[in-house]
């Protein structure tokens, strides 16, 4: 993974903004994405208490004479198994409401979101509000509210606006349809450059542990 980050860094140095701003932005987004995933992958290799160890602690006196032959530590710590992502979702970008101005409201596109260690890391693209193509990378944190709703915040960077890379911060609300599908409303507050924005995303989970 570190080699991939180095490759992307070399691409950034080779393609500078004055030569090709779009290529530079794409290389930078890839580098940020690989760096985030590399950190998450290293962090996900922690050790943890297994179910077998918990059962030994709960149901068997560890220091009782009849259990001297049991070695609970042999069951205590194992590397985390499975892939990097706890779940992977396909994001379908649809329509946007702007509270002022004459902006494009058909912001169609797609992205992927990986949930790992309680965070969501995503990247994708869409046709934006000023009728240009946007590439983005974001990190989000959601909290479950009841059985059907989630509330969260997100931050990231995007291309295709008034400068090469635009920082983005937003809130998001999720309505959970079932275990595989959800609707998400992205809410971006008003800035000196943009109106308040409300964007609808369809989410379909197609891989999970």
Q: Per-residue pLDDT for 24 more than 80?
A: no
Say whether pLDDT at 159 is over 70.
yes
Give the pLDDT of residue 31.
55
Share of the chain above pLDDT 70, in %: 59
For helices 2-14 and 21-43, the axis angle rounded to 10 degrees is: 160
**Residue 9 and residue 1 in contact, taking contact as beta carbons nearer than 8 Å:** no
Total Cβ atoms within 10 A of residue 140? 20
Q: What is the pLDDT of residue 75?
A: 44
Q: Which helix (H) or strand (E) holds 52?
A: helix 51-59
pLDDT in tens, 172-197: 999 999 989 999 999 999 988 789 99
Strands 77-79 and 47-49 come out as: antiparallel
CATH numbers and ranges of domains, the chain: 48-79 (no CATH), 84-208 (2.40.160.20)
Is the confidence at residue 102, as pLDDT, over 60? yes
Stated as kind and residue range, the H or E segment containing 35 is: helix 21-43
What pLDDT score does 191 carry? Answer: 85
Say what the pLDDT of residue 85 is. Answer: 87
Predicted local confidence at residue 60, as pLDDT = 52
Which pLDDT tens digit goes with each residue over 36-58?
A: 555 445 544 444 445 554 555 55
Single pTM value for the model: 0.63
pLDDT at 152 over 50: yes
Q: Are 87 and 115 spatial neighbours (Cβ–Cβ below 8 Å)? A: yes
């Amino acid at each position: 993974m570190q080699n991939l980050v180095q490759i992307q860094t070399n691409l950034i140095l080779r393609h500078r903004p004055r030569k090709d701003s779009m290529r530079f932005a794409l290389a930078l987004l890839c580098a940020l994405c690989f760096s985030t995933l590399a950190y998450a992958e290293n962090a996900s290799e922690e050790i943890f208490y297994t179910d077998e160890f918990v059962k030994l602690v709960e149901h068997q006196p560890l220091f009782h004479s009849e259990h001297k032959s049991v070695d609970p530590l042999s069951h205590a710590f194992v590397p985390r198994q499975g892939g990097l992502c706890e779940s992977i979702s396909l994001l379908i970008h649809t329509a946007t409401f702007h509270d002022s101005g004459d902006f494009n409201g058909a912001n169609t596109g797609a992205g992927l979101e990986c949930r790992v260690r309680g965070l969501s890391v995503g990247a994708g693209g869409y046709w934006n509000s000023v009728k240009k193509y946007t590439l983005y990378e974001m990190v989000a944190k959601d909290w479950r509210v009841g059985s059907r709703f989630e509330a969260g915040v997100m931050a990231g960077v995007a291309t295709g606006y008034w400068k090469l890379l635009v920082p983005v911060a937003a809130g998001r609300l999720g309505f959970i349809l079932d275990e595989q599908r959800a609707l998400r409303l992205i809410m971006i507050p008003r800035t000196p450059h943009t109106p308040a924005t409300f964007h609808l995303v369809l989410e379909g989970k197609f891989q999970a542990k």
